[in-house]
Structure 1
Amino acid sequence: MDEGGFEREYRKRRRPPGAYLLLLGVVLLNALFQAGRPDGGGGFRWILGPPVMILLFVAALTRVLLEQYRAFTRVTSAGITARSLLRTRTWAWSEVYDIRVEPLPHGSGSNGPRWFTYLYDFDGRRFLLPHLDDWQLADPYAEVSELCLTADPQRSLGWEQRPDVEERIRRGALRRRARLWGGYGAVAMMVVMFVVSLALVFADRADHPFLLIVCVPVASGVALSAVLQWYWTTQAAN
């Protein structure tokens, strides 16, 4: 309890994310399968082989553990502290522009929380408040509304919206949307390049799996993201 007599902490999900557990199992099984194969497999073995699979397994396991036991959000009458996987940030209430509950982007899957809470500062930047979501809470909207009412006496500006900040928030949303679709494009291109590389192997022609399966999709995703951001920003300005 802080000096003002108000403190709430949100940490640790009700259950580990099912998608991560599934990923851990698939990656580990594939690593064991690849490790039992005789040497060979060409360039694909370097991309899908045991070293990469084990590295992915360790990365996924580390993320699950950090989300479960490190990340949290603490709210007091003095401000908000959010600890993510690797970093801790603290904002006084006077530095907080708004707190908003937002849905998961369409098409991002449902193996986890569907509603997240974000803090916006006066520069329009958005920060995730860990575990303040619909896995931790039955009604995130009601919880955030109560937090804002509790913090209102600490804010000299109140919670009124400012056009300049709202414009920066809108531009940030367009950038995130463009990056999301750029990621979708990169995944689609990766599938295409995987088929192309596999066809080259069967045709006994020189294949370059790292270039085709990694470099080309990444470059395509970055290009698509840049084009979409320019297009949507132009459309919104008209």
Structure 2
Amino acid sequence: MGGDTGGIDRVYRRRRKPPLQQLGLLGLLGANAFFQAGRFSDPYTHGDGPPGWPPLAFGLLVATTFVRVALEQLRAHTRVTTAGITVQGRLRSRSWTWGEVYDIRVERAPRGWGPQGGPQWLTYLYDFEGRRRLLWHLDDWQLADPYAEVSELCLSAAPYRSLAWEPRLQVEALILRGAARRKAWRWAVYGAIAVLVAMFVVDFWEIVNGGPDHPFLLLVCVPLASFAVLGAVLDRYWTSRPPGSLAQQP
């Protein structure tokens, strides 16, 4: 993080490496995926065909995850100046002037990020449309106290804003609806994973009993369809509720 030289000039980059447990798990998954892709042949060609699509697809997914993590660690950063905030993502950057920034908030990270799995608290920028954007590396994994850092940033930015840091009911309602929408699609992911596990069981049962086998239908089409349907239903249900009830949602 750069120093403050009379105004605001701070850059938040990776200072602490990702947890070894996380990198080790990715490494094991990647090695296993590529090993399986090279070792096993398509069962429907009795061992004489090209590698089956499930190991290849899983290997591609793991490779993509590796690239994402690498870009997050080496390229992504957040810069704060008197002009505003610039977020350099994995590939593209985006800038906001201070007049476009509604609020900067430290929020709990999504479930599954344990104490050894990365930051527990992340920082987001909110605009006046209720949209939010992650501020890279402004979290408790890279900083000792992100709350104090954000408070200092807001105080330092006050002279460069035409508006005070005060809540607006209309924007808060948009933020709550955005949170409800994210929750809906997060639960849709959980539901799709449960359906995928169930389809694995069904596919295995069909193979054991000599019935017709439809791996692409069961392991790809059905989970994706369940994700789309469940997400749409939950999105409509949660975002249609009054803002007051949305604020009570976990």
Same fold (TM over 0.5): yes
Aligned residues: 234
**SS of corresponding position for 2:90:** coil
After the TM superposition, which parts of structure 1 deviate over 4 Å for at least 4 consecutive aligned residues? 1-4
Q: Per-residue deviation at 1:36?
A: 2.5
Q: Unaligned stretches of 5+ in structure 2? A: 46-50, 246-250
Residue of structure 2 in register with 1:142 after alignment: 148
Measured in 2, the distance between the counterparts of 1:215 and 1:14 equals 40
Residue of structure 2 in register with 1:215 after alignment: 221
Partner residue of 2:35 out of 32, 36, 42: 32
Measured in 2, the distance between the counterparts of 1:13 and 1:3 equals 21
Measured in 2, the distance between the counterparts of 1:233 and 1:40 equals 45
CA shift digits 1:66-111 (9 cap, x unpaired): 0111000011111111011122001111110000001023x33422
Q: Which amino acid aligns with 2:83?
A: A
Q: CA RMSD of the aligned region, Å?
A: 2.1
Partner residue of 2:13 out of 11, 15, 23: 11
Residue of structure 2 in register with 1:108 after alignment: 112
Please give the residue correspondences for 1:96-175 in structure 2 after superposition, counting only pairs within 5 Å: 96-105=101-110, 107-110=111-114, 111-175=117-181
Residue of structure 1 in register with 2:236 after alignment: 230
Q: Per-residue deviation at 1:3?
A: 8.5
Q: Which amino acid aligns with 2:62?
A: F
CA contact (8 A) 2:184 2:234 kept: yes
Residue of structure 2 in register with 1:41 after alignment: 43
CA contact (8 A) 2:12 2:78 kept: yes
**SS of corresponding position for 1:124:** coil
Provide TM-score, normalisation by structure 1: 0.90
**SS of corresponding position for 1:30:** helix
CA contact (8 A) 2:30 2:63 kept: no
CA shift digits 1:96-145 (9 cap, x unpaired): 0000001023x334221111100001111111111111101111111000
Q: Which amino acid aligns with 2:18?
A: P
Measured in 2, the distance between the counterparts of 1:122 and 1:3 equals 29
Does structure 1 residue 202 correspond to structure 2 residue 204?
no
**SS of corresponding position for 1:73:** strand
Measured in 2, the distance between the counterparts of 1:194 and 1:160 equals 51
Larger RCO: Structure 1 or Structure 2 (Cα < 8 Å, ≥ 6 residues apart)?
1
**Structure 1 pair 36–46 and aligned structure 2 pair: CA distance change class (3 A):** closer
Q: Per-residue deviation at 1:13?
A: 4.8
CA contact (8 A) 2:14 2:137 kept: yes
Measured in 2, the distance between the counterparts of 1:104 and 1:60 equals 19
Provide TM-score, normalisation by structure 2: 0.86
CA contact (8 A) 2:37 2:59 kept: no
Measured in 2, the distance between the counterparts of 1:189 and 1:33 equals 24
Query: Which sits farther off after the overlay, 224-233 or 154-163?
Result: 224-233
Q: Per-residue deviation at 1:12?
A: 1.4
Measured in 2, the distance between the counterparts of 1:92 and 1:197 equals 53
Query: Which sits farther off after the overlay, 128-137 or 223-232?
Result: 223-232
